[in-house]
Amino acid sequence: MIFTENPDIFLYTGEKIDVTFSDGLYRAKVGDRNYCATLFSGLIVCIGYFHSIYTSFDVECETITAVMKAIRKLRDSDKLEDRQDALGTLRMYPDDPDAAKIVGDIERKHVSFGAVYLARCLGKKDFSRVTVTEISTLVANILHRKELITELAEMVKLNA
């Protein structure tokens, strides 16, 4: 964390910690201990290691939404089930532009006639909604089953 201005540091007891800058170091004394660091943020870390402190500076944190988590899971996961779960989460947020774009891109991917036929037989809107269990249960031919699972895995990938 890099500060553009140096905030005040307080102990949780309410006592303000006086910070000085001399000889190229930020220095502070808390109780009988002296702390110093080349960066102000480093001084905060040092003091915070031994004492409960807070600053007058409000740090804004990036909030991670469910859509962002699902996009990361879809992008980073190697397991097909995890990617399908993430895609299902994205489908629950049709008003989010990122989620709508990703879901639309995945649903518009070209798939084989056998994949479309299987999805229609199962009453699914598209092949990305078909699970591996359903493919394994309904497709007896092992080679065709493997092809369909591979096609499903490629379909549910997020192209970076």
pLDDT digits over 117-128, tens only? Answer: 999 999 998 899
Helix segments in the chain, DSSP class H: 40-50, 66-76, 80-91, 97-107, 113-121, 132-138, 142-155
Q: Are 60 and 133 in contact (CB under 8 A)?
A: no
Is 50 in the same domain as 70?
A: no
* 18-38: pLDDT as tens digits: 888 888 888 999 888 899 988
* Model pLDDT, residue 5: 63
* Model pLDDT, residue 22: 87
Rounded average pLDDT over 34-62: 78
Is 88 in the same domain as 133?
A: yes
Is 83 in the same domain as 139?
A: yes
32-47 burial code (b ≥16 CB/10 A, e <16): eeebbbeebeebbebb
Task: Look at residue 2 and tell me if it is in a domain.
Answer: no
Mean pLDDT of the chain: 86
pTM (2 decimals)? 0.59
Look up the domain containing 24 and give its range. Answer: 9-55
Q: Which residue has the higher pLDDT, 119 or 42?
A: 119
Residue 139 has pLDDT above 80, yes or no: yes
Other beta carbons within 10 angstroms of residue 73's beta carbon come to 18
Query: What is the rounded CA–CA span in Å between residue 51 and residue 35?
Result: 12
Residue 95 has pLDDT above 80, yes or no: yes
Is 70 in the same domain as 98?
A: yes
